[in-house]
Amino acid sequence: MSDGFHGLCPICGLLARSCRGARSGTLDRLHKQLNASMALFVQKYGGTSVGSPERIQHVARRVARFVAQGHQVVVVVSAMSGETNRLISLAKSVSSQPDPRELDVMLSTGEQVSIALVAMAIMELGIKARSYTGRQAQILTDSVHTRARIVEIDRVNLRADLDAGYVVVVAGFQGVDDSGNITTLGRGGSDTTGVALAAALNADECQIYTDVDGVYTTDPRVVPEARRLKTITFEEMLEMASLGSKVLQIRSVEFAGNYRVKLRVLSSFQDEGEGTLITFEEGPDMEKAVISGIAFNRDEAKITLLGVPDRPGIAYQILGPIGDANIDVDMIVQNVSHDGLTDFSFTVHRSDFHQAMEILKSADAHIKSRGVMGDDKIAKVSVVGVGMRSHAGIASTAFRTLAEEGINIQMISTSEIKISIVIDEKYVELAVRGLHKAFDLEQGA
Ligand code: ASP
Ligand code: MG
């Protein structure tokens, strides 16, 4: 691109440097048409999508098709499948608790390999491409190693490259803090890199290419009749992601919500298909289902304190030390008291279970309950749908379904758009299948 592209395009009046007609030197009214069809896409490819040289070439060919249609493309990639796990176990082979800063230095190499390979494969097709590490792309994060949050992205470099006709290939999952340390964004963090870049560059769409062709009503491995959703609202997606649907990193969904990024989940293995679009409101073309999906999560554990004195400050005495240990608490249930005593239950991530039990046993020296009980064989099943706001009877349908299957409900929690139920882990598949059927989710909308 020459330096002459300052100011406005004399033909269509757009900023000259983002006018496609001006950039390609077209001198007629075609400018408007060219600009109307040009879009900026951020395409994120996960580990399996770049898992082999063949898969990488496949990605390059898809990118090339978008470029051929006149679009600008930013590619965000994960490490090749298995690589991040391999690096973590390598670290654990020399250190029982790898230093988080050093772990990030190492983990970031996985994505660095992918970006270079993808850029090379794209260039091989005669298209200009350039790779960027998180630091080169100036993805600034806080300093919380291994789960850093993106604070800011300086889009100047990337913009200039895009405007000069390059495909920009950015390493997912990594950034740099303000002292120049390499950081990573937590497992699955490349999704968040993709969405954050889409927000920073004001992209038309952020496409997440993965090994499934969209977001399903539930996990098809459990319910073969599960159906791909054409659309899901952002709020529902947030619930599905936090309740156990592993398609998107939850932070990426939060990010998309905050910056209103148009987000779509698609298969990188199929060339057809529109995937699932995550929308912001229930528009007229939304599927009319009351319930969008059934999420489930086997990663939980339940802790109960029996016969706790029912007096002010008790919840704090129980949960304070848990919070101090940085353990997230999910559901909390306290019963009506009898004779001044009550039972208090809550759930934590299963990997925090043992630590939480230890903490509570020592806290119980002051609380003086009648006993601390733990169960790490529970699962949480959730019915999710914005339609719940305007439809009665969803909870009773869910409870009736579980009753008919003979499944005992241990805990219940609800929000405006979800009902979560804790049950014995061994019934999770039965419950999910029953609920999926009870809410007619297998039928096309
Ligand atoms: N490679 C990282 C992981 O395996 C980040 C990602 O794939 O999104 O978690
Ligand atoms: Mg992922």
pLDDT tens per residue, range 44-89: 999 999 999 999 999 999 999 999 999 999 999 999 999 999 999 9
| Average pLDDT, integer, range 180-199 | 97
pTM (2 d.p.): 0.82
Closest to 48 (Cα-Cα) out of 26, 88, 80: 80
From the CA of 107, the nearest ligand is 1
Contact 306, 369 (CB under 8 A): yes
HSE-CB at 150 with a 13 A cutoff on CA atoms is 29
- What is the per-residue pLDDT for 75? 98
Q: Which two tokens stand for residue 300?
A: 């939980």
pLDDT in tens, 302-351: 999 999 998 899 999 999 999 998 898 999 998 888 888 999 999 999 99
Q: Whose CA is nearest to atom 9 of ligand 1?
A: 187
| pLDDT for the residue 171 | 98
Distance (Å, whole) CA 327 – CA 183: 22
Token look-up 């279970």 returns 353
What lies within 8 Å, CB to CB, of 368 at 6+ separation is 309
| Ligand 1, pocket-test mutation among 43, 44, 77, 78, most atoms within 8 A of CB | 78
Q: pLDDT tens digits for 341-382?
A: 999 999 999 999 999 999 999 999 988 999 999 999 999 999
Residues 210, 273: contact at Cβ < 8 Å?
no
Q: Which amino acid is at 266?
A: L
Atom of ligand 1 nearest to the CA of 193: 8
User: What is each CA distance from 411 to 22, 403, 420, in whole angstroms?
Assistant: 62, 14, 8
25 confidence band (pLDDT: 50, 70, 90): low
Query: From the CA of 185, how far away is ligand 1's center (Å)?
Result: 9
The one-letter amino acid at 148: A
Mean pLDDT for the chain? 90
| Residues that place a CB less than 5 A from ion ligand 2 | 46, 188
CA–CA distance, 228 with 212 (Å, rounded to integer)? 10
- Expressed in angstroms and rounded, the spacing between residue 344 Cα and the centre of ligand 1 is 37
DSSP sequence for 342-372? EEEEEEEEGGGHHHHHHHHHHHHHHH--SEE
Q: What is the pLDDT of residues 249-268, one digit of tens each?
A: 989 999 999 999 999 999 99
Given this model, what pLDDT does residue 335 score? 83
Question: Strands, DSSP E only, in 285-353?
Answer: 293-309, 329-334, 341-349
Report how far ligand 2's centroid is from the alpha carbon of 264 (Å). Answer: 14
Instruction: For residues 172 and 77, give the distance between their C-alpha atoms in angstroms, rounded to a whole number.
Output: 5
> Residue 359: what pLDDT?
95
Owner of token pair 């030197």: 25
d(CA 175, CA 184): 6
Q: Which pair of tokens denotes residue 287?
A: 């599927």
Q: Candidates 76, 187, 211, 247: which one to mutate for ligand 1, based on the most atoms within 8 Å of Cβ?
A: 187
Q: How many angstroms does the Cα of residue 46 sit away from the middle of ligand 2?
A: 6
Q: Which residues, at least 6 apart from 223, have a Cβ–Cβ distance to it below 8 Å?
A: 217, 294, 432, 433, 436, 442
Provide mean pLDDT across the span 163-190: 97
- Return the closest-CA partner of residue 69 out of 42, 36, 25: 36
pLDDT (0 to 100) of residue 271: 83
Selection from 128, 208, 135 nearest residue 170 by Cα? 135
Residue type, 137: A
Ligand 1 atom closest to Cα of residue 189: 8
Q: Which of 48, 77, 173, 192 to mutate to test the pocket of ligand 1 (most atoms within 8 A of CB)?
A: 173
Residues in a beta bridge with 374: 303
